[in-house]
Amino acid sequence: MDFGTLAIAATPSFIASAVEFVEATTIVLAVGLTRGWRAPLAGSALAALTLGVIVATLGVALITVVPEHLLLGLVGTLLLTFGRRWLRKAVLRFAGIVALHDEEEIYRREVAELRAQGLKRTEWDWVGMVVAYKAVLLEGIEVAFIVIAFGAAGAAAMNAAVVGAVAAGIIVIALAAALRHPLTAVPENWMKFGVGAMLTAFGIFWFGEGIGAEWPGDAASIPVILGVILATSWVSVQLLRGLLPEGARVEARNV
């Protein structure tokens, strides 16, 4: 596995996956500390198994069946879909129009909702299991598609993307288990800004490759595209702040 493969597949996969794992871990922590650990751990394991099947099935199918140019176009479209959505939310958050993502507040809300549902200790906690399964599956689906997108360039790239995602999961879970508290110190809003720009840049590059465009310097043009996206996004933040100085605070999870 060469350095280029690691840089293009493993690194963005690691960063993007870390953000999603932080969000999923917050909910699993809320369930475990409120209602006990057996059910949420079982739900998380089942969700991880489901995600593994998705990655293995779709990833292998893309690499072995889809023609290269069509594959690059599909991958580019997929990355643009995720990247544009993440970048849009990040711009709105930093402009003050949407509330910044707050893991501490999400944790408190989840704990309150779970406590309100109650639990008979003699029974299997289906509520806790379903909540954990849904959280890990929903956040993990984005991880799965990001891994598939970055790994679609071939077997080495797929291995690198999987390694990046798994490493992110291990680190986040280990930190959460040690602290037994949401990872509020993680600069999640900044990470989402960077990941959104990164996914968008790779999406533009690979979509262009898919339709036959020739980029100056080939892959060396990706940092240039990323720089343009970051600069444009930050200018957008400043313009929106000037137009809407008071902002319009709404819940970040619903935007």
pLDDT in tens, the chain (255 residues): 456 656 677 887 888 888 888 888 888 887 877 777 888 888 888 988 888 887 777 766 666 676 766 777 777 887 888 888 888 888 888 887 777 666 667 767 777 777 666 655 557 777 778 888 888 888 888 778 777 777 766 677 778 888 888 888 888 888 877 777 666 656 777 877 888 888 888 888 878 877 887 888 777 788 888 889 999 988 988 888 777 655 455 444 444
Task: Give yes or no for a contact between 168 and 10, defined as CB atoms under 8 angstroms apart.
Answer: no
Q: Which residues contact 233 (CB under 8 A, 6 or more apart)?
A: 87, 90, 91, 193, 196, 197
For the chain, the first-to-last Cα distance in angstroms comes to 39
